[in-house]
Structure 1
Amino acid sequence: MFKSSFLIGICFLFLFSCAPKEPEKRNTPLEFALGSDHPKIKRVMDSLAAYEVQIRYTQIHRKGRQVDFTDFDFQVDSSNYFYPASTVKFPIVVTALEKLNETKTLDLNTRFYVEGDSVETTFSEAISQIFAVSDNQAANRLIDFLGQDSINHRLHKRGISPVRIWQRLDDPNDNVTTTPLIVYENDSTTTMRSPLISAYPQPLDLQGIRKGIGFYDEEDSLIQEAFDFSLKNYYPISAQHDLLKRIIFPERFDSLQRFALSEGQRSFLLKAMHTVPRQAGYDPTKYHDGYGKFFMYGDTTEEIPEHIEIYNKVGFAYGTLTDCAYIKDAKNKVEFMLTATILVNKNGIFNDDTYEYKEIGLPFLAELGRQLHAYELMRRKQE
């Protein structure tokens, strides 16, 4: 399970109380957090096989302008499939920004609409909606701008692999030909951009690609066989974490691995990733701060304190909750990166909307974030 210090640390794994204790030198951050006796952690760890948990945690070490990373893994395995849901919107946005940067006639403020769609938007509005409330249609419009092959090629070119993104979000359309974009050159003149054709994907051959004991089909009939994810999106923990590193710390990567974003684009992206729904004008009673911030705040309706900055993208669907985040505590000078996924589908039936998100999944991810934040606070005191 653990890549770091597992054999030494396992005997201490369940010795911690709910209140964080001083981290011992031989205990890794994940051993500390997952060894907590807090019920939100313990009930998952006590039945670990049921939840398909994968976690990657990165400590950040600064010395002057130099930044170094130490990674810690728990059950991370790119060959063990989980459904990434809306986390794929992060790479869709990044690759869309890169294409905008290459296209002289377009920018973030360019207005456009998809042929047959009554909604006009701008690229900046679409990106803001994606991060504030995980808007599916906004993401699908960016897919029509890019084409699936372009998304995957751009990611692979920068070393983000393995990954395969081709499925639209909350849309039965599996067409690999994009719908044309109608772009405003000015207030009255529009131009149609040609549709893009991508290759139809091959079925994924991965562990866990068929899950559960049944599912409801499009006609709402229960099919009593495992649910097949082989033609869904594929975006494992390692790829998610690598993309986050490149966006938060681009200076740590050479030019071939960095995405070609302008400084203005990157600043806009970081602001969008950090913004909570109420700051974007959404009703906070419907979309509380933790709606899109699972770590530390996913199980509460309280506002996130100003000194806690979370730059992330979450996903939840088919009983799977995933978050990929850079968390910075400006007041206490603590920062770390965390990517984790958990499956909560006790009855093994997919598409029945009976998942333990609020009961198990969100509390686990929130407490995981709090435990690791507490660990880093204590580690800083010891430095």
Structure 2
Amino acid sequence: MKSLSKTKANTLKIIILSTVTMVLFSCGSHPKNYENALDFAISSPSKKIKRVMDNLEAHELQILFTTVERDKRDAIKFHEYSFQLDSLHYFYPASTVKFPIALLSLEKLSSLNRSHLDNYQVEEDSVTYSFANTINEIFAVSDNEANNRLFEFLGSDYINSKLKSKGIHPVRISHRLSTSDAANPNTKKIEVLSKGLELVNIQPNINSNPKPLNLSHLNKGIGYVQNGFTIYTPFDFSYKNYFSLRAQHEMIKRVIFPEAFKESERFNISEEKRTFLLESMHKLPREQGYNPKIYYDSYGKFLWFGDTKKQIPNHIKIYNKVGYAFGTLTDCAYIEDHKNKLSYFITATVLVNKNGVFNDNNYEYDSLGIPFLAALGREIHRFEKYKKRKF
């Protein structure tokens, strides 16, 4: 009787598994039914993805996905896929603007023949900082003060002109982050301190006052909170920073594969500085000395791992910069899976502001936005893994 019961139980398991498999196939959720990873991912039956996909207008979703291959001559070839990509559709970039600021700071140091290991001081600040530590703070925990110090080092006009000259657009960086003087166009004096070398003075800059952006969807929601009061009129982003998905994607591609671009489109940094930047981008907070109970591995890694606090496996390297503010979540990433020999770029942004009120700190980051980005990353990886095994 016992063996018969086991046989029935095993038969039942097989039936259940077969039924589940048939349901999945009928829903079109198997990679074999799709030509690329992005189409596969956004068609997923996962609730984490469907909750966004079923209400696209509210979530202003944009995605760029790029695979990388080398031809017979070892030249880089990019294969790009996108969903709702629109460089004229405004979204708030939040801390993703720290990426170009960190990168251009390294380039400016190169032009000054100075090292990223050098120290610096900001006018009216008695503390001496290290450029390397500042950049590590930006990527490990997205430190706003670190970003703002480098903003003083560069100035908005310098940032915007340099990005434009490299073909990275549309972008407009106009202000600092989370500080009372965020919109002040003028920068402070910076002193670069190098051992055995003459002190370098970076004089204050008078930068252009920002003009209103000429984009769609600049006025968002039904209201916003100001000085503790809710003002029921759409929030105007016309003078805020803008860093389009296209611009973010093009910039990270230049960092990872500079050889795939014309010399005029590259960032002029030494291999030593580039290696430092890449390490800073992929290192986890615990690897930078931060408390892992507070700054867990996925603290700044939304794609694939954002909805878990477990450690990211050692064979996965994610070079990225995230941003989240005003209900908008963005992640610009290059992902490497050394175990399965996979690599690709994903840049995505999603709005999660159900009540339509901005600046009230009532957004669905943890319940909706981050789970979506995490599931998106997992589904894309699932497809790429299947595709590699297939061939």
Normalising by structure 2, what TM-score?
0.90
Instruction: Give the Cα–Cα distance (whole angstroms) in 1 for the partners of residues 194 and 26 of structure 2.
Output: 61
Is the counterpart of residue 141 in structure 1 residue 141 in structure 2? no
| CA-to-aligned-CA distance 1:49-108 (integer Å, 9 cap, x gap) | 11000000001113452221110010010110000000011111111111110102x321
Offset, 1:175: 1.2
Query: For 1:360 and 1:183, how far apart are their aligned partners in 2?
Result: 44
Aligned to 1:179: 188
Q: How far apart, CA to CA, are the structure 2 residues paired with 1:202 and 1:177?
A: 15
Q: Which residue of 1 aligns with 2:211?
A: 202
Aligned equivalents of 1:221, 1:16: Cα separation in 2: 51
Amino acid corresponding to residue 190 of structure 2 in structure 1: L
CA deviation string 1:11-66 (max 9, x = no partner): xxx97689962333x53322110111011011111112110000000011134522
- Secondary structure, in 3 states, of the residue corresponding to 2:158? helix
Shift in alpha-carbon separation, 1:251–1:356, aligned structure 2, 3 A? same
8 Å contact kept, 1:92–1:143: yes
What amino acid is the match of 2:189? P
Q: Sequence identity, in percent?
A: 49
Instruction: State the one-letter code of the partner of 2:374.
Output: A
Residues 1:286 and 2:286 are matched in the alignment: no
Higher helix fraction: Structure 1 or Structure 2?
A: 2
Q: In structure 1, what is the Cα distance between the partners aligned to 2:112 and 2:158?
A: 14
Q: Give the C-alpha shift of residue 187 in structure 1.
A: 8.9
Q: Deviation of residue 196 (structure 1)?
A: 1.2
Q: Render the CA deviation track for 1:185-227: whole Å, top value 9, x for unaligned.
A: 449996643101111110112111010001011x222111000
Out of 85, 90, 100, which is 1:76 matched to?
A: 85
Correspondence 1:120 to 2:125? no
- 1:52 to 2:54 alignment: no
- Residue 214 of structure 1 aligns with an amino acid whose one-letter code is G
Cα distance, 1:372 vs structure 2? 0.2
Q: Answer whether contact 2:69 2:77 (CA < 8 A) is retained.
A: yes
Q: Judging changes above 3 Å, is the alpha-carbon distance between structure 1 residues 160 and 188 closer, same or farther for their aligned structure 2 residues? A: closer
CA distance in structure 2 between the partners assigned to 1:123 and 1:377 by the alignment: 38
SS of 1:60 mapped into structure 2: strand
For 1:153-232, list aligned pairs within 5 A.
153-173=161-181, 174-186=183-195, 192-217=201-226, 219-232=227-240
Q: CA deviation at 1:182?
A: 2.9
Equivalence for 1:37: 45
Contact 2:221 2:357 in 1 (8 A): yes
For 1:261 and 1:295, the matched residues in 2 are separated by 28
Secondary structure in structure 1 of the residue aligned to 2:171: coil
* Correspondence 1:325-344 to 2 at 5 A: 325-344=333-352
Maintained 8 Å contact 2:29/2:45: no
Whether 2:31 is the aligned partner of 1:22: answer yes
Matched with 2:12 is none
Q: CA RMSD in A?
A: 1.9
Secondary structure of 1:216 counterpart: strand
User: Residue 321 of structure 1 aligns with which residue?
Assistant: 329
Q: Return the alpha-carbon distance in structure 1 between the equivalents of residues 211 and 24 of structure 2.
A: 46
Aligned to 2:277: 269
Structure 1 residues 77-92: aligned runs within 5 Å: 77-92=86-101
Per the alignment, residue 243 of structure 1 pairs with 251
Query: What secondary structure, in the 3-state scheme, does the structure 1 residue paired with 2:263 have?
Result: coil
* TM norm structure 1: 0.92
- SS where residue 66 of structure 2 aligns? strand
Report how many residues are paired: 367
Matches of 1:165 and 1:18, distance apart in 2: 43
Structure 1 gaps of 5+ residues are 1-13
Alpha-carbon distance in 2 for matches of 1:137, 1:18: 48
Which of 315, 324, 334 pairs up with 1:307? 315
Partner of 2:389: helix, strand, or coil?
helix
Report how far residue 378 of structure 1 moved. Answer: 0.4
